[in-house]
Amino acid sequence: MPVVGLVVHECLFALRIVWAPKIKGIEYETIFEDLSNKSPSLLHYNPVHKKVPILIHNGKLIVESLVILEYIDETWKETSLLSEDLYERAMARFWAKFGDDKVVTSIFQGFFLKEGKEKKKAMVEAMKHLQFLEDKLKGKRLFGGERIGFVDLALGWLANFISIFEEVVGLKIVDEDKFPLLSEWMKEFSDSPIIKDNWPPQDKMIAKFHALYDATIAAAAASK
């Protein structure tokens, strides 16, 4: 059975399993999901969370994007995403989880979807978390060193979605003067051919997140 990935371009996390197989030269079939109208396939393959991404390999299902990334890296050894060094592997897992637990939460669920004092508080948290990433890049072009690795893919959404959030909200998040290394990483990562050729359409994303932001602000105003 071929490798099949159920993904949705609008999902911050699903892009990881679009990029990883391409980096490794794996042939696979992609099924794009509309999460506003979930297909029977999605509900069948992931009845617990009913979410993407999902990887199907040899009839087996793997869910959760970071778990899928590790599965891909361990199954197809070409162009390793994780170091063979056990400490470096552990640190890569740590920073990937930090990105999901702290960076996504403070920027998307906090800064982007909040207003007033809650937005300001989330912005402070986001700046603190982004500074950790800035420090992590000292002496390196990429989080993976000289080539795209596990952490780069885990944090890759920053290189595209940050500019979308900034445009929608009208505020700068990643300032080049404050975060020069992170800004340079975002540019280098997004300019990589495999990454650049597999971004979702920018205009579609801006329209989608504008609608989400407007609806969130309207709901918050109505609840006051």
pTM greater than the 0.85 cutoff: yes
For all residues of the chain together, what is the average pLDDT?
Answer: 89
pLDDT band with cut points at 50, 70 and 90 for residue 35 = low
pLDDT of residue 182: 98
Cβ-Cβ contacts under 8 Å for 219 (sequence gap 6 or more): none
Q: What is the pLDDT of residue 4?
A: 65
d(CA 187, CA 178): 15
Select from 177, 176, 198, 179 the least CA-distant residue to 189.
198
Sketch the domain layout of the chain as residue ranges: 3-75, 86-219
The pLDDT score that the predictor gives to residue 8 is 60
CATH of 86-219, one of 3.40.605.10, 1.20.1050.10, 3.30.1600.10, 1.10.150.120: 1.20.1050.10
* Segment among 33-47, 83-97, 106-120 with least mean pLDDT: 33-47
For residue 1, what pLDDT band results from cuts at 50, 70 and 90?
very low
143-159 pLDDT, tens digit each? 999 999 999 999 999 99
3-75: which CATH number, 3.40.50.1470, 3.40.190.10, 3.40.30.10, 2.60.40.10?
3.40.30.10
**pLDDT value of residue 90:** 97
Instruction: Examine the pLDDT at 140 and tell me if it is beyond 80.
Output: yes
